[in-house]
Each structure stands twice: as structure tokens, then as C-alpha cells.
Structure 1
């Protein structure tokens, strides 16, 4: 199941309208004897594809070359995605850098996928482990530089095709042919802007630029506790001064994606950054102007997360 809210101009409207959608979906599922799962992975069943469409058949054919992570990502994971403005032109690179710096911190704080396919895993976020292992060219984090648009464009062009839509029922692309090579004549026909848009939809990076920033590194949360990470991200990116502070607060954990996915805030560097980021988020939350009941609910959730972060101690996980 997927709920995709329309853009909202303020946090209150977003949280209230999405809550209403979740309540409606919950009622429909209850009537059918079903309920929303609480985690970011299917804790009970092995992955099994049920959508028999050309796109998903081509995706599985591509991902199976790299192992089992791809089918796991496709069939057994669920994420919470938050879309944020890119900001003014002179702030795009900083906001991009901040979102990447915050990735290990927030995926650790909100890790919610330790079980997979009926078994406990050694990962607090088995979803992140599966996504990052699916196909590195397509799922690893983006490059952080002063010109993220140029870096992203080069990466997209150099990424192999998953789907080659050429009129037949089989969309499986020839192995290793990149979009740039298609432009250069490696495949029949000339790719269109629609083909490029479709290729972009097969990029599964932790942050995906789409004219805005689509943050994709959070595990799905329990139905009653999804608002806290959403409100936290909005609070951290509502004011450019706070963005700068968030970037600085997250620095100790930069690049520690697998550490965070494996042990969460048990990693001392991630824990230190998490305390600073959560404290900053709690101090910034009043700027959102949430109604008292929503503000209190989000605050309680973030306070609980902060209290669960281990206190400083010696040692370092490498």
C-alpha cells in the first residue's frame, strides 16, 4: 500500500491530511480483516513478486544479477519518504549536503526493520541494507559537491538502463548499456525526454532530486508514530540557519550509512550526532506552529528517541 499526499504549504496541513488518509486506509483494511504493518520490512514472509508487469519483470531481471537484495527491496521493504524544497539557487548545494550528512543519523534514530522473512537479522535497518546492496550504481548515496546538479546529471547518464521500452512485452534492457550509450547509438532508436524521465524513476538513491529533494532513507514507521521524523525533517529545513546547524551537527556521522544500518545509535559517532541533531530539531520545532496536540505528540516521540540514544562513552565502531 502507498499513501502519497499532495504538496502542502505548511506542516500542520501535511500532518493532518496525511493522518486522515491513513485513518481511511486503516478502516478499509480493517473491513477486509487486514492491518497496516508496523515495520520497514516484511517480518513474516520471504520476498515474492506479485506484480506481473513489464517494468517489475525487467527490474527483477536486472537486480537478480547482483544477488537477493533487489528482490528483497522490491517485495519486502517499505519506506517513509519526505519531500522538501531545494531552496534558493545559492542554497541548493548546502541543503543537498545537509540531507546526506543527516542520512546515517536519521536512519539510525528511526531504524525499524530488524526482522525480515520470519527471522531476526543482525541489522537494525535491514531495509537500508537491502536497498544499498541492490545495485550500487543505482542505490548508493549521491556525490556531495558544490555542483550537485552536474554530478547528478553525469551519474544518471552513466547508470545502466533497467527498462528498454521498445514496443514489446519484454522491457529487459541489454546488460550494462547506459543511458549515455543509448544516446550514442548503442540501441535502436533515439531516446526521448520521456525515456529520460522513465530512467530517472529507476534511480533509488537515498535522496533523489526531482525538482525538489525526495528523502528516501527512512524506514516506514508504526502507523501511530510516523509524524515525528516528518516534522523533524521539516523543522531542520524550514530555516537556512538551522540547515547550517544541522549540517554541522551531523558531521561526526558523515558517510556511516552501513554502520548506522547495522547497529544504529550503538555506533558512538552516530550517537553523538544523533543527540545534537535531535536537540536541534526539538529547539526548532516551535517554528512550525503546530497545534498544541500535534506539537506535544511529536515532542514526546522525539524526546523518547533522544532518551534512547546511548550516553557518550569510549570506543569507536569501525
Structure 2
């Protein structure tokens, strides 16, 4: 989740049209399209596989401070606590931030190619991994915490998370699990116009359950198999219906920036940030804020920074800001972290592939898309769809992505970008996901001991 950094105040918003213009300003010529990859991972104490606290000599605070001292990334603090690091001048830097339960997130820079993404990821894992080892901390990439209970996990010292923690249980049964026990990898993609945005949004939403199946990597809860391919995806089904889901309105006539703004205006807010403090307005609408009718802040109207903040608190399967965020995948090991940006770049950044993907999903009904989304957490690639399974649709999807990457022809050291799809091609050809692999290890060489996972899967 985003971390607010103090800066110059933006002007007060006077009309809904300004909100629409904010999204529309994200449109870019194809030459400026970039790929931004974000991933989260769970830290653990190597000595006993317990969660890493925020404070203490071997905690997350110490890790961030040491990373700052070693690599000169700029610290971001809240109430004196370091909560993030940024490297805005680094060509492959980005920022490092904390999710509610201490999951460490790299928000990568917008990059031109998958090759640059690989360099960025390797640099990050080398730097943060080197610091972590000195503190006795390891990292694993899974979609859901494999061992820890909610009660065991720390709360990071960010006021927005305290507000969310209070509000989440009022809107769903699994909101706290989402905050504290899930981890994801997502990709941010650009669009060229309103029509291009709509086409990419629809393709992204319709195919997101297929991506969930391909990247399924969360088969354990509190040390035992949970019966799911992607328990992370299941948790999102009961988190907060106001701000999650498949956005069926995106497939209706008249879809565009205005329609998304109207949706966002009525999604309940969490907070307003003023004078370095987060003010709890959970449950109020941005529409009321725009009219100066927030009960907690009577007469106050929002700035564009408030709008940008609010957009980060919407969690549909594909999220629109000044770019599109593809949000349906479990976190995973290095090759899968590389595979997601390659998959979406191949599908969305090549006209032939995008048109073919749009043709693939044409005619799918809202009910069919929702049923697919509801079944995929448990069934994964075996999810039935129109007389086929998602494994077959995934094979077709990967072929389109591979063709798109070949036509992009972004070569690095003599190789194009298609090599990043190898792990997904293997999943489709074998029908064996990361969850299947982990379950086989648990039932076989690990002897039912979840602690073996931390040794085998450490990043």
C-alpha cells in the first residue's frame, strides 16, 4: 500500500471534472509506456521462523535503518518511525515500504523492458537480503502466511493501518487476514487513451482469475494445508465488497474515466491526511468530501492529493489510477516475480495480442466472470469454463503473450523478453502450480513440518 510523503500542498478540487481529468492525464504515447513491478514478501526470524517485529535490534526498523545507511536510500518517517525508503533518482530504484503485518514491499520504478525489471529485482534482493542476513532475518515469497496466526503478527507504526484495522471487520470477515497475512506481486501498465484504457481494463479484469490460477502459491494456513490453490485470492472474496471485485460496470456501454470516477466517489473512505496526521473518516464517501460535507471535517474540501490517496484504498482485481494495476497474483519466487510483468507486457503492449485477448474474452458474461473468480481460489487451473478448464485458457493466453513479446523485440544481451515466461509455460504444460509443488514437498520430504518451507523457499 502507498506511503504518503509530505510535499507541496495541491489546490482544492472544485469539480468532478477535475477528478476525471486527473485519470485522463495518465494517457501516454506508446513510446512512453513503462512497466512497474511491485512485490511483497514475508520476513521471518531465521532462528525460529517467527514473525519479525517492528522494533528491536533485529527488527524491521533496524533493517530499514541499516539499508538507509548502507545504500543511501532516503528514509520516510511517521512520528519518528522509519516506515519506508525511496530512491527517486535511481534509474532502477523505486521505493521500499511496509504492509500492515510487516510484509516488505518493493515498488519498482517504471521501466522500459523486462530486462531492466530483472536488474532492479536482483539489485533489491541482493541489497535487502544482505542487510537482512546480518540481522538474522530471512524472506519468503508466498501469497499467504504459511504458519502465523493473526495474533502473532505485529502492526506496523502507520496510522492509516490503525484506521483500516478498526474499519475492516465492519465490512467483511477476512479484511484483517488480507492486511496482515497476504502478499502479492502486481504490475502497473500504461494506456494511450480512454479507449485503450477501457480495452486493457476489460482484458485485465476478465483474465485476472486465470492469472490467479497460474500464480497460485498459498496452500497453507497456520502450518497445515488449507484446501486452496490460492488462499490469498479466497481471502479477498470476503474482505470489503465496497472496494473489491471484478467491476462488472467496466464491461457496460459508456465505460470510461467518468464511470470509474463515479464508482470511486461512492467507495467509502478510510482517512484524510492533514498536517502530518491521518484523520479517521472511515465510512464516509469522497462524494460528500467533494461537497464539503464530511462529518469529521465540516466545510473542508479535498485536494488532488486526497483524491490520489483515496484511489489507493480501492482494491478491485484491476485498479485504475494514472495507470492500470494488475492485482490478481500471489507473491512467489524470483522466476514468478519476473513472469508477471512479462505476461502483461506481452498481452497489453502489443496491438495484435491485445486485440486477440479482447476477442478471447468477448461474450463472456458478468456471471461467468464472477463464477470463474469464485471458483479459482480452490480449483486453480482445474476451474471449469465453457466446456474447458482455465488450464486451456491459460495456454492460449500465454501464446498470445509470447507472441506479443516477440513482436516487442526488446532484446537484452542477445535475448528477447520471452524467457521470463518459462515458469508459466511449465505450469501450463505440467498442470502443476507452485501450490502443488509445495504440497508435494509438505507431504513428502518435509514430513508434514511447515518449518521446512522456510529453509526450502527462502529468497
After TM superposition, the score normalised by the length of structure 1 is: 0.88
**Structure 1 match to 2:170:** 65
Residue 326 of structure 2 aligns to a residue whose secondary structure is strand
| Residue pair 1:83, 1:214 contacting (<8 A) in 2 also | yes
Aligned counterparts of 1:8 and 1:179: Cα–Cα separation in 2: 32
Residue 133 of structure 1 aligns to a residue whose secondary structure is coil
| Residue pair 2:169, 2:176 contacting (<8 A) in 1 also | yes
**In the alignment, structure 1 residue 13 sits paired with structure 2 residue 116:** yes
Residue 218 of structure 1 aligns to a residue whose secondary structure is strand
From 222, 235, 240, the equivalent of 1:135 is: 240
**In the alignment, structure 1 residue 298 sits paired with structure 2 residue 423:** no
Instruction: Give the structure with the higher percent helix.
Output: 1
Structure 2 gap segments, 5+ residues each: 1-103, 433-459
Aligned counterparts of 1:77 and 1:43: Cα–Cα separation in 2: 10
**Structure 1 match to 2:129:** 26
**In the alignment, structure 1 residue 178 sits paired with structure 2 residue 289:** no
**Structure 2 match to 1:315:** none
1:210 to partner: Cα distance: 1.5
Structure 1 gap segments, 5+ residues each: 311-318
| Residue pair 2:406, 2:416 contacting (<8 A) in 1 also | no
Aligned counterparts of 2:347 and 2:278: Cα–Cα separation in 1: 44
**Structure 1 match to 2:66:** none
Give RMSD over aligned pairs. 2.4
Q: Which 4+ runs in 1 deviate beyond 6 A?
A: 166-170
From 241, 246, 256, the equivalent of 2:357 is: 246
Aligned counterparts of 1:168 and 1:25: Cα–Cα separation in 2: 28
**Structure 1 match to 2:99:** none
Aligned counterparts of 1:250 and 1:35: Cα–Cα separation in 2: 41
**Structure 2 match to 1:212:** 323
Choose 1 or 2 for highest CA Rg. Answer: 2
Bigger relative CO (Cα 8 Å, ≥ 6 apart): 1
**Structure 2 match to 1:192:** 302
Residue 289 of structure 2 aligns to a residue whose secondary structure is helix
**In the alignment, structure 1 residue 101 sits paired with structure 2 residue 223:** no
Aligned counterparts of 1:106 and 1:178: Cα–Cα separation in 2: 32
| Residue pair 2:343, 2:421 contacting (<8 A) in 1 also | no
| Residue pair 1:86, 1:92 contacting (<8 A) in 2 also | yes
From 31, 37, 56, the equivalent of 2:140 is: 37
1:170 to partner: Cα distance: 7.2
- Aligned pairs for 1:208-287 within 5 A: 208-250=319-361, 254-255=369-370, 256-269=372-385, 270-287=390-407
